[in-house]
Structure 1
Amino acid sequence: MLNDMRYRIEFQQKKEGGRLPVEGKYETVVECWAKAEGLKGREYYAAAAVQKEKTIKFTIRHREDLNEHMRILFQDQPYEIESILPNYSRKHFTTIRARRWNNGI
């Protein structure tokens, strides 16, 4: 599993700026190695049915400091985190499903 973790990803959180949050400003809070793979088979067709075919599954070493309010920067593209799930077959890893960030979100 560790040999498959070839990609460096960044977890970013929206910056706080004064009274109002600053639009579009993010800061990197965690950087780690990850395995990135597109959806396959049944998962792909289910995602395509609701126009989420740009969803990627990331597998990282388990961390407690991540949440769904963050975003992932992968190959200079931002991804919105849909879910963070423990990997039950390998307890020291976490699986994250994320979809490509749209500017209109």
Structure 2
Amino acid sequence: MLNDMRHRIQFQQKKEKTRLPVDGDNGWETVVECWAKAEGLNGAEYYAAAAIQKEHTIKFTIRHREDIDEHMRILFKGKTYEIESILPNHSRLHFLTVRAKAVK
């Protein structure tokens, strides 16, 4: 599983509004950067998501962490993804599966 974790992703959370905005400041800050396995949905998952949402969804597999939640977003290859769910990986207990959809 570790050999498949070839992609670097960043988890970001909203900044607290305690200071004045700066040019180029998008209101998000990176709190976690880690290696991940990134894979698109396949089979029935893909067709169900495409029919209902018409969105690009990716499953990221990462090492288990306690410091991420559904209120964060992911940066991957220059694109932003909104986290839909964070689930334990039942076949590998030390990993999490994060399902996220592309933000337009």
TM-score for both structures, normalised by structure 2: 0.90
User: Could you say which residue in structure 2 is the equivalent of 1:47?
Assistant: 49
- Partners in 1 of 2:75 and 2:102 — Cα distance? 10
User: Could you say which residue in structure 1 is the equivalent of 2:22?
Assistant: none
Residue 6, structure 1, aligned to residue 6, structure 2:
yes
Cα displacement (A) at 1:79: 0.2
Moved over 4 A (4+): none
Give the match's secondary structure for 1:63.
coil
TM-score for both structures, normalised by structure 1: 0.89
Cα displacement (A) at 1:25: 1.2
State the identity as a percent. Answer: 74
Cα displacement (A) at 1:67: 0.3
User: Could you say which residue in structure 1 is the equivalent of 2:61?
Assistant: 59
- Check the 8 A contact 1:13/1:27 in 2, yes or no: yes
Q: Which of 84, 93, 96 matches 1:94?
A: 96
Q: 1:22-41 to 2 correspondence within 5 Å?
A: 24-41=26-43
- 5+ residue gaps, structure 2, are 20-24
- 5+ residue gaps, structure 1, are none
- Partners in 1 of 2:74 and 2:54 — Cα distance? 16
Provide Cα deviations, 1:12-37, integer angstroms capped at 9, x if missing partner: 00111139xxx941000000000000
Q: Count residues in correspondence.
A: 101
- Partners in 2 of 1:52 and 1:67 — Cα distance? 24
